[in-house]
Amino acid sequence: MSDIIQLLPDHVANQIAAGEVVQRPASVVKELLENAIDAGATSIKLLLKDAGKTLIQVIDNGIGMSGTDARLSFERHATSKIKSAEDLFNLSTKGFRGEALASIAAIAHVELKTKQESEELGTQLKIEGSKVISQEVVSTSKGTSIAVKNLFYNIPARRNFLKSDTIETRHIIDEFQRVALAHPNIAFLLHHNNNEVYHLKESNCRKRIIGIFGAKMNEKLVPIDEKTDIISIEGFVAKPEFAKKKRGEQFFFVNDRFIKSSYLNHAVVNAFDGLLDTNHHPSYFLYLTVPPNTIDINIHPTKTEIKFDNEKALYAIIRATIKHSLGQYNVAPVLDFNRDATLDTPYSFKQQKVTTPKITVDPSYNPFKNDDKEVYHQQNYKKDIGSWDVLYSNIEPEVKTEQAELFENKTITEAKKTIQIQHKYLLSAIKSGVVLINQSLAHQRVLYERFLKSITVSEANSQQLLFPVKISFSSQEIETIYTIKSELENAGFVFEEFTKESITVRGIPTSILESQITQILEQLLNDINLDIPEASFSHFDVMAKSFAKTLCIKTGAVLSEKEQENLVNDLFSCKEPNTSPFGKNTFKTLTIKEIDAIFSH
């Protein structure tokens, strides 16, 4: 039998490696940004076209490369970051595997320009599908510029698996934010389709967070600062009142590297114990510094998961540090036995002498002796309030028997077509039995179909605001809102101005209140960021669902008899009354036979 095992050609091996390193355009962005940081850059530009599918270009002012290094950097397992296996446990750089550039060059058209400061001329290298097309000497500025074009051009199957431009851009923004937050001392610039998305100057952590997430973030932040022998913790947590139902801004950085850790996340959540509403998640930006030899960052291909030597100790320190900061800044109740400045002597009283107050005692006072004066006062008091007795004269304690309660419920049933149960369900009688309706889910269905119709078919009515409302958002959030501006206008919104940090709303749909504008737009942004289907109808559908979820009647709302009746009629006038927009049942029917079966046992 002939031999069947053979070595793979280099270009095939590189494409297989690319499958591990490059899942989507955001993977390329991460690798190139980290290389620029390792090169000592103080200014990094990221240019994108078509969510990175057409172009990803990173320009830095780092140390650059020689002609030989430029050529060698695209070989597999070529790296300047490590020299021996022991270096893996004492890493201070980002990339170290030496597979990134080789993998990227295997599935794209790559153009590299680089020059060292000591050299007069630099090197230009062009590679297509792992093949070097040309290498020339060029005049270029110090640092490195690498352009990745037509990603997955030679693997069309992989390209077809990419999501819409909106989703891919969201992933790129996530990677960009993580790198930019980890390095506030580096200036970053992001352009997408020739539009400036971020222009972040060199700054500190707080300013970098505000630069990315908008000025409204400033009031939310509570500083964290603690140094111990095994860990140093800096950063910020958001105040409990700004917690969100969705996991939003949650960032852990270990030695300037973004990581994910459900274990440490639990420590943060535990520190907020008793301060958060149910199903709400805190926001945090925590920078942890630990000795490099106490962590292993080579346990996951994306390097976002790491292993700590002393996880339990870190858990306790993080939890205690956050609890202390929340108490120190009066965010959480705390017992503080330190001096209270409010009890200090006022300045105007500093020179005044202290006088001891005089206390007089009546030695003849007997508390058990009837005093004529006391009796007199009691009589006058009763006399004064005598007129109030009339208000309570006909009231007797109400004690309901079981029979009386059943009789009362029977009377209500006969008088009403629907009954509200526990401020959550509506019970209505039908010919075949009864129907139990979830008021919140039913109203979601009604609002969803109503909004969907107004956005796509009919022209929605809009009410002008007496005073336009200005709302602050991050640059990325504003760009997202701008991309669906026409759909929002179809729904009834009228916008006056879009800036890099805020939007001004001049008109709103007649079905919402002015106080709900911010809540609706924030919920819409969350829903868009979570998932957007590929259909062209997607924005309308997500928007209608988001509006319905935000504005629907909530559990606990008391409905009048007329409101109950209207909701039932509106639900069964819908095209699909059986389920909510999110696929949950809106009602359950119990036939007489099913009810009889309950009592037949």
Of the two residues 190 and 538, the one the predictor is more confident about is 190
Of the two residues 468 and 474, the one the predictor is more confident about is 468
Mean pLDDT calculated for residue range 479-493 = 83
With a cut of 60, say whether residue 404 has pLDDT above it.
no
Return the minimum-mean-pLDDT range out of 57-61, 125-129, 359-363, 394-398.
394-398
C-alpha span between 507 and 219 (Å, rounded): 27
pLDDT of residue 298: 62
Percent share of the chain, pLDDT over 90:
32
With a cut of 50, say whether residue 414 has pLDDT above it.
no
pLDDT of residue 415: 41
405 exposure class (CB count in 10 Å sphere: 0-12, 13-18, 19+): exposed
Mean pLDDT calculated for residue range 524-531 = 72
pLDDT of residue 1: 54
pLDDT of residue 348: 59
> Confidence class of residue 391 from pLDDT cuts 50, 70 and 90?
very low
Q: What is the pLDDT of residues 83-101, one digit of tens each?
A: 555 555 555 566 544 578 8
With a cut of 90, say whether residue 137 has pLDDT above it.
yes
> Confidence class of residue 254 from pLDDT cuts 50, 70 and 90?
very high
With a cut of 90, say whether residue 356 has pLDDT above it.
no
CA distances from 551 to 506, 515, 523, 540 (A): 20, 12, 11, 16
With a cut of 60, say whether residue 258 has pLDDT above it.
yes
Query: 257-259 and 250-254 as β-strands: parallel, antiparallel, unpaired?
Result: antiparallel
Which of 54-68, 426-440, 501-515 has the highest mean predicted lDDT (pLDDT)? 54-68
pLDDT of residue 341: 53
Domains of the chain, earliest start first: 10-200 (3.30.565.10), 209-328 (3.30.230.10), 420-587 (3.30.1370.100)
Residue 255 sits at the vertex; the CA angle it makes with 251 and 260, to the nearest 5 degrees, is 35
Return the minimum-mean-pLDDT range out of 278-292, 294-308, 453-467.
294-308
Q: Is 237 within 8 Å of 219 (Cβ atoms)?
A: no
List alpha helices for 492-576, DSSP H.
517-530, 538-551, 561-571
Return the minimum-mean-pLDDT range out of 311-320, 321-330, 451-460.
451-460
pLDDT of residue 593: 87
With a cut of 60, say whether residue 300 has pLDDT above it.
no
Q: What is the pLDDT of residues 373-389, one digit of tens each?
A: 555 455 554 544 445 45
With a cut of 60, say whether residue 589 has pLDDT above it.
yes
Strands, E assignment, 334-461: 418-421, 425-430, 433-438
Q: Is 275 within 8 Å of 323 (Cβ atoms)?
A: no
Which positions ≥6 away from 14 have C-beta within 8 Å? 76, 102, 103, 105, 106, 130
pLDDT of residue 200: 94
Task: Note every long-range contact of 418-422, with CB atoms under 8 Å and residues 24 or more positions apart, other chains counting.
Answer: 418/561, 418/564, 418/565, 418/568, 420/558, 420/559, 420/564
pLDDT of residue 361: 76
pLDDT of residue 541: 79
> Confidence class of residue 340 from pLDDT cuts 50, 70 and 90?
low
With a cut of 80, say whether residue 390 has pLDDT above it.
no
pLDDT of residue 193: 92
User: Could you tell me the pTM of the whole model?
Assistant: 0.66
Radius of gyration of the chain (CA): 34
246 phi/psi in degrees, rounded to 5: -100, 150
Which of 26-35, 92-101, 236-245 has the highest mean predicted lDDT (pLDDT)? 26-35
Helix (H) or strand (E) holding 506: strand 502-509
The order of strands in the sheet holding 433-438 is: 418-421, 425-430, 433-438, 587-591
Q: Is 571 within 8 Å of 445 (Cβ atoms)?
A: yes
> Confidence class of residue 190 from pLDDT cuts 50, 70 and 90?
very high
> 277: which 2 tokens?
């509403």
DSSP state of 77: T
What does the H/E/C string look like for 433-462? EEEEEEHHHHHHHHHHHHHHHHHHCCCCCE
Mean pLDDT calculated for residue range 190-200 = 91
pLDDT of residue 294: 83
Question: Residue 443, Cα to own-chain centre: how many angstroms?
Answer: 26
Q: What is the SS3 assignment for 285?
A: strand
With a cut of 90, say whether residue 172 has pLDDT above it.
yes
Mean pLDDT calculated for residue range 586-597 = 88
Return the minimum-mean-pLDDT range out of 244-248, 443-447, 548-552.
244-248
Give the CA diameter of the chain. 125
Mean pLDDT calculated for residue range 452-474 = 80
With a cut of 80, say whether residue 419 has pLDDT above it.
yes
pLDDT of residue 251: 94
